[in-house]
Structure 1
């Protein structure tokens, strides 16, 4: 699976992306909302992403600048068993912020989900204070729905009907 937008290419994340994932989350501006990754943790997470792609037909994607192939971050869909919900999520390098890339990538994932998945809605789990991600979610038609906890941290769960 590959999604191409005017400026970006999205492709499934694989264990070969471990170094890029570690580097993305090494920046505390990113990790304050998502946590940091050791190489070992990245490999475990990416193996789970590959498994989700294999078992469910969707998952997280690498976001690359179409013109250069530069890794900008990750975006895609993730099934959370504990909530029985599919989340649209995104995290980009700080250098890529402010260019509309997160909205462009997430919009492509939401549109793909609407066409390919049989679910009534998508969620976006956003940590308090992450106003940039909240703005992306709202641009895409998500609205705050409930407060919850993910990995021991509070999140606002935004919902977008499909």
Structure 2
């Protein structure tokens, strides 16, 4: 499949790039944390589950032509999480997702990466209405979605919980 978006995005502090197999160890800092996964996968993952999740994100690029990026901090070279495009078969639409390891929360890194991804989406996927699909109790992600200019479109029941669909603006924020 032809890629619909660039494979690399560079911001002031970050490199957004395709995942590599060895990234699973850094990514596991997110996926093994109960607090971090409460509103996403719902529980901490084992090392094997994190590796398989990484494989799914890599495969997403082949199936959709876009996907989640590894978020590498320039200063340290550490993969701090994932931000990018995500559209599993049971999702209500293509989304901009973000998930960083707790050690990197509160530094504005998710915002920096998500804004860059939003700009790429506007320029390379102009006909796709991008959303962010957020558990109703995930106040931090709701704040970020609103800061990115997204507005609440509707609420839905998903996997036994209330989720919000935020639609991203068609202009950069």
In the TM superposition, what is the alpha-carbon distance from 1:132 to its structure 2 partner?
1.2
Q: Do residues 63 (structure 1) and 96 (structure 2) align? A: no
Instruction: Give secondary structure in 1 for the equivalent of 2:37.
Output: helix
Q: Which residue of 2 aligns with 1:20?
A: 26
Q: How many residue pairs end up in the alignment?
A: 162
Instruction: Give secondary structure in 2 for the equivalent of 1:13.
Output: coil
Pair 25,82 (structure 1): closer, same or farther in 2 beyond 3 Å = closer
Please say if residues 27 and 79 of structure 2, whose CA atoms lie closer than 8 Å, have aligned partners that are also in contact. Answer: no
Query: Which blocks of at least 5 consecutive residues in structure 1 are unaligned?
Result: none
Q: TM-score, normalised by structure 1?
A: 0.89
Query: Which has more strand, going by share of residues?
Result: 1
In the TM superposition, what is the alpha-carbon distance from 1:101 to its structure 2 partner?
0.7
Q: Do residues 122 (structure 1) and 130 (structure 2) align? A: yes
In the TM superposition, what is the alpha-carbon distance from 1:152 to its structure 2 partner?
4.0
Pair 84,103 (structure 1): closer, same or farther in 2 beyond 3 Å = same
Query: Which blocks of at least 5 consecutive residues in structure 2 are unaligned?
Result: 1-6
Instruction: Give secondary structure in 1 for the equivalent of 2:99.
Output: strand
Q: Distance in 1 between matches of 2:52 and 2:135?
A: 23
Please say if residues 80 and 87 of structure 1, whose CA atoms lie closer than 8 Å, have aligned partners that are also in contact. Answer: no
Structure 2 counterpart of 1:138, from 132, 146, 159:
146
In the TM superposition, what is the alpha-carbon distance from 1:84 to its structure 2 partner?
5.6
Q: TM-score, normalised by structure 2?
A: 0.84
In the TM superposition, what is the alpha-carbon distance from 1:83 to its structure 2 partner?
4.1
Structure 2 counterpart of 1:79, from 82, 87, 107:
87
Q: Distance in 2 between matches of 1:59 and 1:83?
A: 14
Query: Which has more helix, going by share of residues?
Result: 1
